[in-house]
């Protein structure tokens, strides 16, 4: 961030923003790490004080600052309860950015290699990611994944074991067969069923496309039934959320520019795009911040303004009546932190679930408290992630619902891992909300 | 008495000089003889050996001395800052007593802390040393429904107690605006108020008994479980409001009352602030005692509307948020009476909250004003004055005058029913010029409150922020009596030293503002 004004290695904007914290403490009771550890240092208020200390020169950019900042989930539960409106997540990003500059080079070579491969090569590169998934599929089907996972640190094994099956070529074909090619190789388009009322862009994402292709399939189907033409630009890719949250701002920005450009390019071929749809709480929240991330890009703000999460969009276009087929199921809802606190979408998923005839919806305790996934937090901070996950699984069990509905791939994986660890994989199912909507709106079963 | 140029708003609080120097300085006219460099150096108190002993008492996990921890525990809900040398989080009264005993032997200052949401810098360790957090003592030990009391540990969050007693049809009335995060121990230390004091009284009115760890490390039981108790001195009420300078509360027996059957919330909107003032005086005089009567001026309304988007009347000069509770029939009658009074005081509208949800949202708005003010400018400074309800109109018009004259950005809100108001200024601490003007203005407001027959602090406490004004209200005799009591309980002056003008030389060195 060499262009922006800095103070002691930290963005001056972040210092100004952190100053607006009055120390009222309302955030403490919303913060999962504070509720777990009970120390001021593990609270949003504490972390903002540390940011101030760095800017004021009384705390260096070293482990003393990094440790508490890295313990933060970035779940943003503090933001809705902050009367001063401190934009905590952006301050956190600036802090991570500052730390990446000073401490990044000091990491172990193994960690740097893993990060380089993951952030620089795997996530942004659709083809590499698909190749990786194909390999994963082979390991899963041959059962080699189990012995192989012993090469990984212990805390990663439940996650690896819980990974959903990588998409088969049959599923890829299902995806391809839903779309037609746009002229000039601009991308793919799936026509609306019946009258077309809207044209939307859909972001298949990286993890969603790799591990949750059925959810993406369901998303496109539901959108088509709701009268939307669905466009997937050729150039669209990873949103860059994980990069931004890790302080890798240059990479985050280049991914963002690519996506904004993709919208512009495809729009020229297809005509006006009404909305940019995401089905992932975390990614969608980040897409909506492109306006801030790329403050000097002329089209970034208009990109962000048009972003909608799938349940938000369906309610906005009045598509609640879409779900007509009774489903005799009992479900509870795990709120994705970024969907609730970043995208501010809380009512719509519940409304849609309640609109499905025959569905019994039961609210779990602390549905909005982080499950511990938080991007790659569960890889980096296994202890805290595990503690939060244990509480979450408890809450799911208390709610007594055999199905827990979620809206974010990270949460989805984390919950699968948690259920796997407790041996509950048979009893409790995790589903994306759009999968239920897909079942409940499937005309082929009429 | 001249206040001199004591900039007690300076953020980085200086330790006083060593004992020898202390005798020379005086607080008579506010100027002190504390030299800039000559102070008990931070870190002198706490060394490796002490930390080891603390770890033996509380276990290493609960003794914090990392740089980040010290920064975080050196801040509260004011703009001030003062770092401890070590933080301990004891898990029992016995551990608290052992820490105090050790500290007393070694002469190490100990500053108790709850949730750190106090508004008078009361939990900041002015002289460094140990910050003793009570947050781990957070159990509600007993709720006795027949005898109507609860026994709690000091780290229990106020709202949590309220929730649990209301679930069994009881009621704990004290409701400080920080209630969702502040602790009962902190409430007791400050004799906290809040919105329901007008009808129900303050925290102290509900404390039946306490378990207190004295500065020597001795554990004392005061009061009992009964509403009436005149056995011996009223030690309970000595500790209440003593801001953690006489003892650390490790258990409290709190009185509960029956939960009111019904409550209704009214919103009265006024074109002029002084009309709201008249309504307040009239309601008080009428004999109707609403549970709460809260004032929000235009600046306050606008910041919370910006936060919560409730559709509040942002063009009104003032609104009154009034709650009436009691039996269904009386509530109905009293609501009508209050509404009529507001209308006759020229309210442009009076309406009831649509439902329980809207009532909750309105109260959330009211409780968020203080923090939401930093939406305007980053540094918020408030007063906590009380004036007799009939004098509120005079205060309002003088407030508006001062605001015009000073050109500063100010808001006024508070517990109008009991005359406890929070005139606040928002500024930027980095603007030294404006900060000076703010200091003078707040001093003027404090003086005004006293002139109108009121007091400096209704609920936030004195801490360090209001300490220099204490002699205006108590006089030297009053202060001497306070110091005598302090000396009797804490001869080594280790428990929360540097607060409430109890040290005769606790004033920070002159001219130091933060970030000069």
Chain B residues within an 8 Å CB radius of A31: none
State the Cα–Cα distance between residues B400 and B258, nearest whole angstrom: 41
Structure tokens at A210: 């790799």
Identify the pLDDT of residue A237: 83
Q: Measured between CB atoms, does A67 come within 8 Å of chain B?
A: yes
**Per-residue pLDDT tens digits for B257-314:** 999 999 999 999 999 999 999 999 999 999 999 999 999 999 999 999 999 999 999 9
State the Cα–Cα distance between residues A363 and A219, nearest whole angstrom: 24
Residue A244 above 90 pLDDT?
no
State the Cα–Cα distance between residues B216 and B495, nearest whole angstrom: 10
**Per-residue pLDDT tens digits for A16-34:** 999 999 999 999 999 999 9
Structure tokens at B434: 């404006």
Q: Looking at the complex, report in whole angstroms how far the Cα of residue B199 sits from the nearest Cα belonging to chain A.
A: 26
Bridge partner residues of B66 (DSSP): none
Beta-strand runs (E) in B162-291? 170-171, 207-213, 219-223, 248-255, 257-258, 262-270
Q: Measured between CB atoms, does A323 come within 8 Å of chain B?
A: no
Nearest to A39 among B64, B78, B157 (CB): B64
**Per-residue pLDDT tens digits for B468-481:** 778 778 888 999 99
State the Cα–Cα distance between residues B86 and A246, nearest whole angstrom: 31
Q: Looking at the complex, report in whole angstroms how far the Cα of residue A81 sits from the nearest Cα belonging to chain B.
A: 9
SS (H, E, C) B266-307: EEEEECCHHHHHHHHHHHHHHCCCCCEEEEEEHHHHHHHHHH
Q: Mean pLDDT score of chain A, rounded to an integer?
A: 91
State the Cα–Cα distance between residues B465 and B11, nearest whole angstrom: 10
Residue with tokens 């970034």, as numbered in its chain: A300
Q: Is B384 within 8 Å of B460 (Cβ atoms)?
A: yes
List the single residue in A with minimal CA-CA distance to B155.
A38
Q: Is A344 within 8 Å of A373 (Cβ atoms)?
A: no
Identify the pLDDT of residue A339: 94
Tell me which residue of A133, A66, A43, A70 sits closest to A374, measured CA to CA: A70
Let me know how many helices (H) and strands (E) chain B has, helices first: 15, 19
Contact check, Cβ <8 Å, A68/B68: yes
Q: Measured between CB atoms, does A59 come within 8 Å of chain B?
A: yes
State the Cα–Cα distance between residues B281 and B272, nearest whole angstrom: 15
SS (H, E, C) B390-436: HHHHHHHHHHHHHHHHHCCEEEEEEEHHHCEEEEEEEECCCCHHHHH
**Per-residue pLDDT tens digits for B421-437:** 999 999 998 899 999 99
A 10 A CB-CB count for B33 gives 16
Question: Please, what's the largest Cα pairwise distance for chain B?
Answer: 70
Q: List, in order, residues 6 or more apart from A316 with CB less than 8 Å away.
A: A308
State the Cα–Cα distance between residues A207 and A296, nearest whole angstrom: 29
Identify the pLDDT of residue B503: 77
Q: Mean pLDDT score of chain B, rounded to an integer?
A: 87
| Letter string b/e over residues B442-468, b meaning 16 or more CB atoms within 10 A of that residue's CB | bbebbebbeebebbbbbbbbbbbbbbb
Chain B residues within an 8 Å CB radius of A24: 77, 117, 178, 181, 370-371
Q: Is B126 within 8 Å of B464 (Cβ atoms)?
A: yes
Q: Looking at the complex, report in whole angstroms how far the Cα of residue A69 sits from the nearest Cα belonging to chain B.
A: 10
Chain A residues within an 8 Å CB radius of B304: 83
Q: Is B422 within 8 Å of B195 (Cβ atoms)?
A: no
Residue B39 above 50 pLDDT?
no
Contact check, Cβ <8 Å, A84/B157: no
Structure tokens at B101: 């005993």
Q: Long-range contacts of range A114-121, CB-CB < 8 Å, 24 or more positions apart?
A: A115/A246, A119/A242, A119/A243, A119/A246, A119/A248, A119/A251, A120/A251
Structure tokens at A241: 């959320």
Chain B residues within an 8 Å CB radius of A38: 89, 135-136
Confidence of residue B43 (pLDDT cuts 50, 70, 90): low
Q: Measured between CB atoms, does B115 come within 8 Å of chain A?
A: yes
Q: Measured between CB atoms, does A49 come within 8 Å of chain B?
A: yes
Least confident of A77-86, B102-111, B472-481: B472-481
Confidence of residue B36 (pLDDT cuts 50, 70, 90): very low
Q: Is B129 within 8 Å of B394 (Cβ atoms)?
A: no
Residue B23 above 50 pLDDT?
no
Q: Measured between CB atoms, does B382 come within 8 Å of chain A?
A: no
Structure letter (DSSP) for residue B78: S
Find the helix or strand (DSSP H, E) in which B349 lies.
strand B347-352
Identify the pLDDT of residue B37: 25
Residue B16 above 60 pLDDT?
no
Structure tokens at B483: 């110091």
Contact check, Cβ <8 Å, B375/A20: yes
Provide the Cα torsion B426, B427, B433, B437; round to 10°. 0
Residue A18 sits at φ, ψ, to 5 deg, of -65, -30
Q: Looking at the complex, report in whole angstroms how far the Cα of residue A36 sits from the nearest Cα belonging to chain B.
A: 12
Residue A46 sits at φ, ψ, to 5 deg, of -60, -45
Confidence of residue B149 (pLDDT cuts 50, 70, 90): very high
Structure tokens at B437: 């003007």
Contact check, Cβ <8 Å, B378/A20: yes
Least confident of A367-371, A439-443, B19-23: B19-23
**Per-residue pLDDT tens digits for A255-306:** 999 999 988 888 888 889 999 999 999 999 999 999 888 988 888 999 999 9
Q: Looking at the complex, report in whole angstroms how far the Cα of residue A256 sits from the nearest Cα belonging to chain B.
A: 29
Q: Measured between CB atoms, does B371 come within 8 Å of chain A?
A: yes
Tell me which residue of A131, A130, A114 sits closest to A246, measured CA to CA: A114
Find the helix or strand (DSSP H, E) in which A309 lies.
strand A307-309
Residue with tokens 């400074």, as numbered in its chain: B381
User: Roughly what angle, to the nearest 10 degrees, separates helices B432-451 and B392-406?
Assistant: 160
Q: Long-range contacts of range A172-180, CB-CB < 8 Å, 24 or more positions apart?
A: A172/A213, A174/A217, A175/A213, A175/A216, A175/A217, A178/A217, A178/A220, A178/A221, A179/A232
State the Cα–Cα distance between residues B49 and B67, nearest whole angstrom: 18
Contact check, Cβ <8 Å, A43/B72: yes
Q: Average of pLDDT values for B375-404?
A: 92
Q: Measured between CB atoms, does B137 come within 8 Å of chain A?
A: no
Nearest to A84 among B157, B180, B375 (CB): B375
């Amino acid at each position: 961030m060499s262009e922006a004004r800095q103070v002691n290695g930290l963005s001056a904007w972040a210092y100004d923003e952190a100053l607006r914290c009055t120390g009222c403490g309302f955030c403490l009771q919303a913060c999962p790490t504070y509720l777990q550890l009970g120390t001021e240092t593990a609270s949003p208020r504490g972390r903002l004080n540390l940011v101030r200390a760095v800017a004021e020169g009384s705390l260096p950019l070293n482990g003393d600052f990094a440790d508490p900042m890295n313990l933060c989930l970035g779940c943003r539960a503090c933001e809705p309860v902050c009367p001063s409106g401190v934009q905590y997540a952006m301050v956190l990003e600036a802090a991570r950015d500052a730390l990446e500059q000073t401490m990044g080079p000091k990491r172990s070579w193994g960690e740097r290699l893993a990060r380089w491969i993951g952030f620089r090569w795997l996530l942004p590169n659709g083809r590499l990611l698909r190749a990786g998934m194909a390999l994963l599929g082979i390991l899963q089907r041959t059962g080699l994944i189990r012995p192989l996972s012993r090469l990984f640190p212990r805390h990663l094994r439940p996650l690896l074991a819980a990974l959903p099956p990588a998409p088969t070529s049959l599923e890829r074909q299902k995806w391809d067969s839903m779309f037609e090619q746009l002229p000039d190789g601009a991308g793919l388009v799936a026509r609306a069923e019946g009258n077309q009322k809207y044209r939307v862009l859909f972001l298949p994402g990286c993890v969603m496309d790799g591990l949750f292709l059925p959810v993406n399939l369901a998303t496109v189907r539901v959108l088509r039934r709701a009268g939307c033409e669905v466009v997937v630009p050729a150039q669209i890719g990873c949103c860059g959320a994980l990069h931004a949250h890790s302080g890798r701002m240059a990479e985050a920005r280049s991914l963002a520019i690519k996506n904004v450009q993709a919208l512009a390019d495809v729009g020229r071929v297809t005509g006006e795009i009404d909305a940019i749809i995401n089905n992932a709480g975390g990614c969608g929240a980040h897409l909506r911040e492109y306006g801030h991330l790329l403050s000097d890009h002329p089209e970034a703000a208009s990109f962000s303004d048009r972003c909608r999460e799938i349940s938000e969009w369906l309610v906005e276009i009045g598509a609640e009546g879409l779900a007509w087929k009774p489903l005799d199921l009992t479900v509870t809802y795990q709120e994705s932190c970024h969907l609730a606190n970043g995208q501010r979408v809380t009512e719509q998923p519940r409304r849609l679930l309640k609109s499905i005839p025959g569905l019994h919806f039961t609210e779990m305790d602390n549905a909005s408290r982080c499950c511990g996934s938080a991007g790659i937090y569960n890889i980096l901070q296994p202890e805290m992630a595990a503690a939060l996950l244990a509480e979450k699984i408890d809450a799911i069990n208390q709610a007594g619902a055999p199905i827990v509905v979620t809206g974010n791939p990270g949460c989805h994986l984390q919950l699968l891992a948690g259920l796997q660890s407790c041996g509950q994989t048979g009893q409790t199912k995790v589903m994306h909300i759009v999968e239920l909507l897909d079942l409940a709106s499937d005309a082929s079963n009429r | 008495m001249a206040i001199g140029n004591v900039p007690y708003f300076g953020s980085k609080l200086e330790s006083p000089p060593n004992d020898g120097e202390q005798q020379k300085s005086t607080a008579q006219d506010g100027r002190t003889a504390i030299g800039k460099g000559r102070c008990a150096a931070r870190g002198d108190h706490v060394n490796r050996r002490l930390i080891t002993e603390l770890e033996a008492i509380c276990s290493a996990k609960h003794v914090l001395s990392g740089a980040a921890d010290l920064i975080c525990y050196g801040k509260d809900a004011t703009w001030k800052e003062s770092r401890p040398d070590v933080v301990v989080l004891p898990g029992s009264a016995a551990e608290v007593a052992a820490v105090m005993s050790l500290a007393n032997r070694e002469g190490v200052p100990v500053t108790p802390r709850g949730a750190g949401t106090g508004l008078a810098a009361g939990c900041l360790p002015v002289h460094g040393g140990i910050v003793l957090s009570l947050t781990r003592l957070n159990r509600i030990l007993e709720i006795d429904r027949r005898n109507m009391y609860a026994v709690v540990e000091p780290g229990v969050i106020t709202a949590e107690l309220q929730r649990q007693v209301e679930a069994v049809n009881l009621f704990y009335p004290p409701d400080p605006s920080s209630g969702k995060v502040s602790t009962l121990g902190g409430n007791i230390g400050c004799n906290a108020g809040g919105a329901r004091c007008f009808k129900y009284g303050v925290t102290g009115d509900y404390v039946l008994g306490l378990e207190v760890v004295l500065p020597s490390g001795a554990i004392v039981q005061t009061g009992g479980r009964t509403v009436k108790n005149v056995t011996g001195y009223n030690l309970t009420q000595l500790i209440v409001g003593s801001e953690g300078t006489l003892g650390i509360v490790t258990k409290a027996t709190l009185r509960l009352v029956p939960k009111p059957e019904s409550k209704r919330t009214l919103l009265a909107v006024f074109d002029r602030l002084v009309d709201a003032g008249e309504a307040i005086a009239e309601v008080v005089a009428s004999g109707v005692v609403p549970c709460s009567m809260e004032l929000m001026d235009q600046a306050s309304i606008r910041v919370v509307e910006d936060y919560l988007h409730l559709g509040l009347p942002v063009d009104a000069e003032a609104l009154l948020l009034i709650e009436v509770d009691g039996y269904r029939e009386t509530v109905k009658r009293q609501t009508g009476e209050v509404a009529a009074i507001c209308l006759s005081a020229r309210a442009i509208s009076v309406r009831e909250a649509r439902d329980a949800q809207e009532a909750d949202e309105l109260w959330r708005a009211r409780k968020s004003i203080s923090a939401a003010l930093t939406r305007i400018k980053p540094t918020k400074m408030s007063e906590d004055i009380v004036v007799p309800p009939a004098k509120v109109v005079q205060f309002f018009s003088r407030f508006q005058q001062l605001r015009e004259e000073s050109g500063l950005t100010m808001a006024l809100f508070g517990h109008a029913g009991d005359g406890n108001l929070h005139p606040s200024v928002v500024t930027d601490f980095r603007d030294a010029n404006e900060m000076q003007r703010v200091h003078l203005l707040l001093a003027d407001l404090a003086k005004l409150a006293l002139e109108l027959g009121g007091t400096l602090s209704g609920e936030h406490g004195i801490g360090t922020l209001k300490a220099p004004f204490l002699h205006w209200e108590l006089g030297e005799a009053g202060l001497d009596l306070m110091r005598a009591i302090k000396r009797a309980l804490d001869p080594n002056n280790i428990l929360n030293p540097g607060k409430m003008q109890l040290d005769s030389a606790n004033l920070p060195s002159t001219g130091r503002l933060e970030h000069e």
